[in-house]
Chain A
């Protein structure tokens, strides 16, 4: 009898695998839909598995297979890519922490803000769209009927937002404008010097030049006028040429799913309390690695409300990058990605994973991150001294 019960029990918790239509990427990073197998499902009628439970909004019930096609597609896509991300951390990085994680609740279409005490902030309090979030576990507030919760990943619904509503930090524009400003100043100064020199020449020497002639004025002031017009009209022109409406279905972007799971995977060392440039850069790095795509951020560039990301871009360090409001800029991402080239593909991956041991949530780029990289190299690099030199040289070239 006991034997029969055991067999029944094993069958009842045995993982189920079913095929669903999910969004995947081709080798050249183009999205397309394909029937894929979802592993480790424990439910026969909903998206609940051994490791992930996909729910809608604030519900605790897993989304049923009978849900509408759009929701089902999102749930299946999220489940599929989360499983892939989990496998990556276990197989490629031997993460015991990820291996032993319990079931994680994934919420789709949730607009509520996160509240430390109440789990969900009030529905009316600043509803959120077009992004995703990983939240830490909470003890709940039993007196108010709020049960404890585990770490969760929340995907916001998409919503079209006009550019005027976005808080864009415009760093890339500032770069171009900075060069233009310098160019303009130099041109003005040169033309002024030329004009003064010609006047002086006319006053002191017997030369046949009229500084106020039309030809001479065009020659002297022409470049200044062109540049001044370009400089003064840079912002309106830039706005006119930019897209006007933005929206992002975060649960349908594999790289965002990987990014959020990466937060979860190294939450053993980097506490999920707030978004910082280092934490976001680390998550971007692993998202890129799981997706096998250095162009990860370039593909979500059109949705990105901040500076356009590009892992290959050699962006110089600016002290503003230390501020949390610049968490989504690509500096740390590009910096970590360059470790693959410096140390080798697999060594770079192991290096960045080990790096989390020397960081905290509040680490800054120019001190703890660099210090952490040197310490990581001391224990992980094949040739610590020379590899540290390569890293320092590379960081120096990035303006750090």
Chain B
């Protein structure tokens, strides 16, 4: 029995230690140029070596990006970036992990010039307490963020800059020389502007999986790795950067209800009279469809006033990303469900775009054309509006929704 428990524990320990890409499709990092690098390191080190080293480093790192990169740097030197990409190529990593690991990777360099320790005197109690924050056992990127934030709050009472604080912490042996260099690099590269670390991402993902275990880990969708319009983030990074686990689950639940309504073969409205059902109106198929989309829009509006979403206004794209992340929407469905936004928020047609410009320039042209023919541009504008406006007046008369 004890032996069996030991085996089971080992299996779980291995499973826990494994890191892999779950459900992300094609990587946005793997350009043709990068693929050549991937090919090179795969050939140089061998695929097994790359994946085993990654998983071993991951186990040792305790989900700390700095430790992981340090470990990889020792073995692969300047090839760490290509090694990470090769692991993404072979689905041992996902794009979100790459995003956070690359941010750390550029701050960890080899053969740094040793920093000289300095003698300190007359540190106030507050200053001493502040510097002790560097003794934390957290991942170094976390230590940087917390000490930097604390520094900003206490800086009026501290006699040194944050840069000096790193040196003081090293001089007091709170941190190693290498860590001091890394912290200084993080400072230089404005890492304090980051919202999340790799540790945070893994923790969020783990919490989500505990709340909502995935039914199918093998499917893949590139929907998640595509960029959000007007942003450098992929949809999945954007989701983790902007929303908490609770928010992601709330958004996903909206899409789950939406899907169930869309798939329902019967939706009825019940009219009551004196607390008794008086009339039951069954919705026609297209009414069911439009009812479902309208309900989602209504529920999205309610989401905006939910206390969990203070000052946040998730759009339909965020909802679909959240639903895919927790597995309520499958890879085969995600693009089609996403495209439903067109039903209630149709994109402008070419004619409609032309009409906007025609209306804008029409007035200018009307002034330029000699009288009495100035009415011609106005006539053209009215003609365009008459032919493209109010496309579905009949439907509204014959359909409940």
Residue A361 interfacial (CB < 8 Å): no
Chain A stretch 125-182: residues in CB contact (< 8 A) with chain B: 179, 182
- A219-B332 contact given A374-B285, A393-B340, CB 8 Å threshold: no
**Are A366 and B332 also in contact (CB < 8 A) when A179-B387, A219-B375, A393-B339 are?**
no
Instruction: Give the complex CA separation of A214 and B372 in angstroms.
Output: 9
With known contacts A370-B286, A386-B336, A216–B372 Cβ distance under 8 A:
yes
Q: Is A218 an interface residue when CB atoms closer than 8 A count as contact?
A: yes
Quick check: B379 and A389 within 8 Å, CB to CB? no
Given contacts A319-B398, A367-B284, contact A186 B385 (CB under 8 A): yes
With A and B bound together, what is the CA distance between A3 and B247 in angstroms? 85
Question: When chains A and B are docked, how far (Å) is the Cα of A376 from the Cα of B241?
Answer: 42
Assess A383 versus B383: contact at CB under 8 Å? Given A219-B371, A389-B340, A396-B343. Answer: no
Contact indicator A371/B285 (Cβ below 8 Å): yes
The residue that B286 contacts in the complex, of A366, A385, A386, with Cβ under 8 A, is A366
Contacts of B383 in A (CB 8 A): 183
CB < 8 Å neighbour of B378 from A223, A374, A393: A223
Q: Which residue of A lies closest to B392 (CB)?
A: A399
CB distance from A213 to the nearest CB of B (A): 9
B-side contacts of A318, CB under 8 Å: 394
Minimum Cβ distance to chain B for residue A238 (Å): 18
Complex CA distance for A218 and B379, rounded to whole angstroms: 13
Chain A residue contacts of B371, Cβ below 8 A: 215, 219
A371 to B286, CA, bound (A): 9
Q: Does B256 contact A (CB under 8 A)?
A: no
| Residue pair A367, B378 in contact (C-beta under 8 Å) | no
8 Å CB contact of A386 from B332, B379, B398: B332
Q: Mark B364-383, 1 if CB is under 8 A from A, else 0.
A: 00000001111110110011
Known: A215-B371, A389-B262. A396 touches B286 (CB 8 A): yes
Interface assignment of B386: CB less than 8 Å from any CB of chain A: yes
Bound CA span A367–B332, Å: 28
Task: Report which of B374, B386, B387 forms a contact with A219, defined as CB distance below 8 A.
Answer: B374
For A335-347 the 0/1 string (1 means CB < 8 A from B) is 0000000000000
- In the complex the two chains form, is B394's CB within 8 Å of A399's CB? yes
Q: Smallest CB-CB separation from A183: which chain B residue?
A: B386
Question: B395 touching A399 by the CB < 8 A rule?
Answer: yes
A316 B391 Cβ-Cβ under 8 A: yes
In whole angstroms, what is the CA distance A374 to B332 when docked? 18
Asked if B214 CB lies within 8 Å of chain A CBs, one says no
Most chain A Cβ neighbours within 10 Å, of B285, B342, B387, B389: B285
A121 beta carbon closer than 8 Å to chain B: no
Instruction: Report the minimal beta-carbon distance from A350 to chain B, rounded to whole angstroms.
Output: 20
A316 touching B385 in the complex, CB below 8 Å, given contacts A187-B379, A222-B372, A393-B339? no
Q: Is the CB of A182 within 8 A of B286?
A: no
- Tell whether, in the assembled complex, residue B285 and residue A190 are in contact, meaning their CB atoms are under 8 Å apart: no
Q: Is the CB of B375 within 8 A of A317?
A: no
B355 to chain A, nearest CB (A): 14
Cα separation A186 to B259 with both chains bound (whole Å):
42
Residue of A nearest to B287 (CB): A366
Q: B100 near A: Cβ within 8 Å?
A: no
Residues B394 and A370 in contact, CB atoms below 8 Å apart: no
Residue numbers in A under 8 Å from B387 (CB-CB)? 179, 183
A392 contacts B382, C-beta separation under 8 Å: no
B interface residue count range (under 10 / 10 to 19 / 20 to 34 / 35 or more): 35 or more
Asked if B162 is at the interface of the complex by the 8 Å CB criterion, the answer is: no
Question: Are A317's CB and B386's CB within 8 A?
Answer: no
Contact assessment for A370 and B284 in the assembled complex, using a CB-CB cutoff below 8 Å: yes
Say whether B333 contacts A386, CB under 8 Å: yes
Contact for A186 among B284, B337, B340, B386, CB less than 8 A: B386
Q: Would you call B132 an interface residue if the criterion is a C-beta within 8 Å of the partner chain's C-beta atoms?
A: no
CB-CB under 8 A from B340, the residues of chain A are 389, 393
Determine if A393 and B382 form an interchain contact, defined as CB atoms under 8 angstroms apart. Answer: no
Residue of A at shortest CB range from B336? A386
Asked whether A396 lies within 8 Å of B289 as measured between CB atoms, the reply is: yes
Judged by a CB distance under 8 angstroms, whether A327 is at the interface is no
Q: What 1/0 mask marks residues of chain B from 192 to 203 whose CB sits below 8 Å from any chain A CB?
A: 000000000000
Residue of B nearest to A226 (CB): B379
Determine whether the beta carbon of A390 is less than 8 Å from that of B284.
Answer: no
Nearest B residue to A386 by beta-carbon distance?
B336
Q: How far is the CA of A301 from the CA of B182 in the complex (A)?
A: 78
Docked Cα-Cα span, A32 to B332, in Å, equals 47
Residue contact A400 to B375, C-beta cutoff 8 Å = no
Q: Chain B residues with Cβ under 8 A from A374's Cβ?
A: 265, 285
* A317 and B372 within 8 A (CB): no
Residues of chain B within 8 A of A316, CB atoms compared: 391-392, 394-395
- A395 part of interface (Cβ distance < 8 Å): yes
Within 8 A of A (CB), among B322-350: 332-333, 336-337, 339-340, 342-343
Contact with A along B207-226 (1 / 0, CB 8 A): 00000000000000000000
Task: Across the interface, name the chain A residue whose C-beta is closest to B259.
Answer: A385
Interchain CB contact under 8 A, A383 and B332: yes
Select from chain B the residue with minimum beta-carbon distance to A215: B372
CB-nearest residue of chain A relative to B334? Answer: A386
Cα separation A219 to B377 with both chains bound (whole Å): 12
A222-B372, A385-B263, A396-B290 known; A187+B332 contact, CB < 8 A: no
User: A341-400: which have CB < 8 Å to B?
Assistant: 366-367, 370-371, 374-375, 383, 385-386, 388-390, 392-393, 395-396, 399-400
- Show 24 residue pairs from A and B whose CB-CB distance is below 8 angstroms, ordered by the A residue: A182-B386, A186-B386, A187-B382, A219-B372, A223-B375, A316-B392, A317-B394, A319-B394, A319-B398, A366-B398, A367-B285, A370-B284, A374-B285, A383-B333, A385-B262, A386-B332, A386-B333, A386-B336, A386-B337, A389-B262, A392-B286, A393-B343, A396-B289, A399-B395
Chain A interfacial positions (CB closer than 8 Å to B): 179, 182-183, 186-187, 190, 214-216, 218-220, 222-223, 316-319, 366-367, 370-371, 374-375, 383, 385-386, 388-390, 392-393, 395-396, 399-400
Given contacts A319-B398, A389-B337, 8 further A-B contacts (CB under 8 A): A183-B383, A216-B372, A219-B372, A316-B392, A367-B285, A374-B265, A389-B262, A396-B343
